[in-house]
Every structure is written in structure tokens, then in C-alpha cells.
Amino acid sequence: MKSTLSLEQYVDGIKKQNRAILAKAITLIESSLKEHQLLARELIREILPLTGNAQRIGISGTPGVGKSTFIEHFGMKSIEQGHTLAVLAIDPTSQLTGGSILGDKTRMQKLSAHADAFIRPSSNGDSLGGVAAKTFEVMLLCDAFGFDRIFIESVGVGQSEIALSNICDFFILLMQPGSGDELQGIKRGILEVSDLVIVNKADGDNLPQAKIAKHDYENALSVLKAKSSWPPKVLLCSSLEKTGFEAIEETIQEYYSKYFQIDFRHKKIKVWLKEIMIQQFKTKILKSKKIEDQIDKIILSSEDMLTDIDRLYERLVHD
């Protein structure tokens, strides 16, 4: 970044809904320079009281399932209903190829041109803390800015979806009809954190298989989430033919009006923060020469590894 604005300029720009400044603030947050990070910390602290009004919705699914096409249409529908929308796309491949962003732009043409939408690919940085340490802060910025619906799109890769589900209120898993063994392809963990599974591409020749898939997911979810206070739903849609979207909107509205409590949001964020701290702690341990030397010493002189591991642990926590 060539020139950094002052803290006041960032805060003021966000309060006045200046998009150029929002974009700069996001770049600041994503920067890995120490001085930028310090300023970013202050910025987050300043804007935090302005947050809390946006619906935070995660949308996940493997590449090609139709996320961008879905978001283009569902995003436009959201805007027609009066929402202002931010879309943050976490795309691990974009840094390498740049290609999928281009593909996304062409699939989100209307949305990217619309004044009430803001689309931003989100870099994962060095990914300390999995998905979303930075995405979370970018989301807070967008919330403070005044977008009242935020989609966070990510490619389904397991552990990071669980993290994503913890920083969102409502987690949507997008699937497509397959060869009848859809359930084998997805990890239980992702299904477990899903509030809504949408079988996309329920059109044309795919329709019969989509219905079978819907049934399979409903069965799986009724077992996995038997104790959940929010009974997760499975819906069909076609992002190409633009069908099925009313039920999706109704489900989201039902969630926010009947089930959502601000406590849920805070609880999940705490779980996520704890996970990040544990990861950072692990990374620090692994990087510590002192600890590595101690481990080496014990391994070399070890006769009884298991009790030595206990002893090593005792020494680490008491040092």
C-alpha cells in the first residue's frame, strides 16, 4: 500500500459509507506489514460499536457446484427486497491462478454492477487461524459500513468450513445432484454445521436425481442434527432457471425471526477464537527452538517415552 490513511480518515469514511475508503480499509486489514496490522487493530476497535446489524451468511460448496451463479441470482433478489449486500469470496485458488475470480466476475455481472452490492475476493493471508482471521475482520468492516446482509462464500475444504460456520449466523451448503452416492463425497462435519443444504442444478435431466439427493440429505440431517434447536432444511433450486429461491428466502427469514439470538453469534465466535488461539499456540510451540531441543534431548535419552512425554509436558507448562 502506497499511502496509509489516518485512523480518523478510515473511521470517518466508513461512517460516511465511502466505498473507496472501505476498499482501502480492507486492504489495510489484509496487509501483513506490522504497522498496518497495528493500525488495523485500532480500526477494528473503533468500528466495533457500529457492527451487529448484518445477517452473516456463509455459503459453501465445492468448485463447480454453482456458488457464483447462485449468489448472482440470490444476491439480486436480496437487493430487490431492500437489502444492501456485501459478498466476500474466500478463494484459495485465486491467489495462484487469478482465473476463478475472472470466472466469478462474469457469473456475477448484474450483482457486481449494482450500486447496492459490494463484492470482494478475500485473501486468506498466511491462513494462521484457518479461514478466517482476516475474513472475520473484513466482515466486521462491511457490517459497520451498513451492509445488512453479508455472504461469505468459500470452497468446501473441510476444517475451514467449520471455522466459517462459526463466524456466520447461518451456514448454507450448496450441493449438486450426482450419481446417487452424494453423501459419500461430503464430510460429516460440514453437514453437521449446515443450517440449510441446497441441492442446486435441480433442473432438466438433473431433476430426478436432485430429488433423490434431497431425500438422502434430509435423512442424514435428521440423524446428525436430531438435537439441534434449529431443524436444518434441505431445499432444491436452480440458479440457472431461477427456481426455488422463495423458499430459500423464507427459510432465512424464519431462522432470523424465530431462532436467531445474539448470544448464539457470540458463543460461536468465542469457539472460533479459541480455536485460532490454540492453532497459534501450536505454531509457536513448533517454531520454538528451545522446545524442539528439549524434545530432541528427551527422545535421545528416552527409555520410557510415555512417561517422558508426561515429564516434558510438565516442564513446558511450568516453565
Residues forming the site for ligand GDP (CB under 6 A): 61, 63-69, 103, 107, 200-201, 203, 238-240
Residue nearest to Mg ion (CB): 68
Query: Which of residues 52 and 98 has its CB atom nearest to ligand GDP in the complex?
Result: 98
* Residue 134 near residue 124, CB atoms below 8 Å: yes
What is the spatial distance between Cα 202 and Cα 209, in angstroms, rounded to a whole number?
8
Minimum distance, C-beta of residue 182 to ligand GDP, in the bound complex (Å): 16
Query: Which of residues 237 and 312 has its CB atom nearest to Mg ion in the complex?
Result: 237
Query: Which of residues 71 and 213 has its CB atom nearest to Mg ion in the complex?
Result: 71
Minimum distance, C-beta of residue 113 to ligand GDP, in the bound complex (Å): 17
Query: Which of residues 204 and 231 has its CB atom nearest to ligand GDP in the complex?
Result: 204
Query: Which of residues 92 and 146 has its CB atom nearest to ligand GDP in the complex?
Result: 92
Least Cα distance to 92 among 160, 179, 186 occurs for 160
Please give, one letter per residue, the 3-state secondary structure of 167-214: HCCEEEEEECCCCCCHHHHCCHHHHHCCCEEEECCCCHHHHHHHHHHH
Query: Which of residues 137 and 194 has its CB atom nearest to ligand GDP in the complex?
Result: 194
From the list Mg ion, ligand GDP, none, partner contacted by residue 66 (C-beta under 5 to 8 A by kind): ligand GDP
Other CB atoms within 10 Å distance of the CB of residue 88: 24
Binding to Mg ion by residue 72, rule CB under 5 A?
A: no
From the list Mg ion, ligand GDP, none, partner contacted by residue 240 (C-beta under 5 to 8 A by kind): ligand GDP
Minimum distance, C-beta of residue 119 to Mg ion, in the bound complex (Å): 11
Answer for which of 68, 78, 122, 200 binds Mg ion (CB under 5 A) is 68
The C-alpha angle 108, 250, 76, rounded to 5 degrees, equals: 20
From the list ligand GDP, Mg ion, none, partner contacted by residue 58 (C-beta under 5 to 8 A by kind): none
**Coil, strand, or helix at residue 11?**
helix
Per-residue CA distances from 279 to 4, 271, 283, 291 (Å): 30, 12, 6, 17
Backbone phi, psi, residue 193, to 5°: -95, 5
From the list Mg ion, ligand GDP, none, partner contacted by residue 28 (C-beta under 5 to 8 A by kind): none
What is the spatial distance between Cα 247 and Cα 244, in angstroms, rounded to a whole number?
6
Query: Which of residues 60 and 84 has its CB atom nearest to ligand GDP in the complex?
Result: 60
From the list ligand GDP, Mg ion, none, partner contacted by residue 52 (C-beta under 5 to 8 A by kind): none
Binding to Mg ion by residue 104, rule CB under 5 A?
A: yes
Strand order in the sheet with 85-90: 117-122, 85-90, 149-155, 55-61, 170-175, 196-199, 233-236
Minimum distance, C-beta of residue 131 to ligand GDP, in the bound complex (Å): 17
Total binding residues for Mg ion by CB under 5 A?
3
Q: Per DSSP, what are the bridge partners of residue 56?
A: 150
Query: Which of residues 69 and 194 has its CB atom nearest to ligand GDP in the complex?
Result: 69
What is the spatial distance between Cα 15 and Cα 91, in angstroms, rounded to a whole number?
28
- x/- string (CB under 5 A) for Mg ion, residues 105-144? ----------------------------------------
The letter for the amino acid at 32 is S
CA 194 to chain centre: 12
Minimum distance, C-beta of residue 104 to Mg ion, in the bound complex (Å): 5
Residues that bind Mg ion (CB under 5 A): 67-68, 104
